[in-house]
Structure 1
Amino acid sequence: MKVKGGLRSEKVRLNGQLAVDKDAELGDAMLRGAIVCGGLLSADRLELGLFGPSSVGELGGGRLRVRRSRMGALKNLVSSGGAASLKAGTIEGDQVELQYTEADVVKGGNVVIGPGCKIGRVEYSRELRVDSRAQVGQRVRI
């Protein structure tokens, strides 16, 4: 699905690719595939199962979970079409769980940095867990 301009929706369930030129404001979103968002992708609750290369300017919301789907992991073994990963400038949420994500800054209350992540700076207020297969520059409790 390609959206010229912005996107606003209370509930989204999508298998495939989503491309939004500007901001996307979502309530409850479950996306399986790849996403490209030129601006801010915000959601009260976001479940993103990565199947291909994805990017967002900024990602924000309540509960954010980014994982590589099983098919995305298999695709990476047999295809050269681009890694199933997410690139973002800033990610901010109350609860943040990331895998295979590259970001400059991650901010949150409870933050889990999983395998395949490359994060420049993490700011957290309650709890931070970092997988041994992740790279994190600065860790700051606020």
Structure 2
Amino acid sequence: MKKIDSAPHPLAIHFPTAQAVAALLHPHAEVVIHDVMTDRVVRIWNAFSKRRPGAPSHLGHDPDLLEEADTYGPYEKANFDGSRIKSISAVLRDKDNRRAGFLCINLDLSKFDAAIALLSAFATPLTDRPEPLFRHDWRERINL
């Protein structure tokens, strides 16, 4: 009988942290753990990008990702539907303190963009100020 390898993934030590961030920002943030050695998504919480565990990370095997900064961002990217996402990525280390993955937090800005548009609609006048109404109003001139 073949023995099944039941060892946890080396990045599993970071799952509780990712899960906590995802719970705090639910449903507006997707939290993803990437394995840089396999260039694959390991786990994903609050998935809204249509990615799933095992999907390609598309990080490549760029040596700069293994030797440069410990965090990247915040930076802007686009979701599959074109909506804006604000993201930040942090390097994850394995039990031997080697760079092994990334924790990426993707904040969906579409609700914020909708709120900004709504508030802007109320704050922006529809027409220019009608001069005949204010021609003799010296208080308005002082206020301006």
Indicate the structure (1 or 2) with the bigger Cα radius of gyration. 2
**Structure with the bigger percentage of strand:** 1
Query: Does TM, scored on the shorter chain, surpass 0.5?
Result: no
So what's the TM-score if we normalise by structure 1?
0.19
Q: Which has the higher contact order (CA 8 A, sep 6+)?
A: 2
**Structure with the bigger percentage of helix:** 2
So what's the TM-score if we normalise by structure 2?
0.19
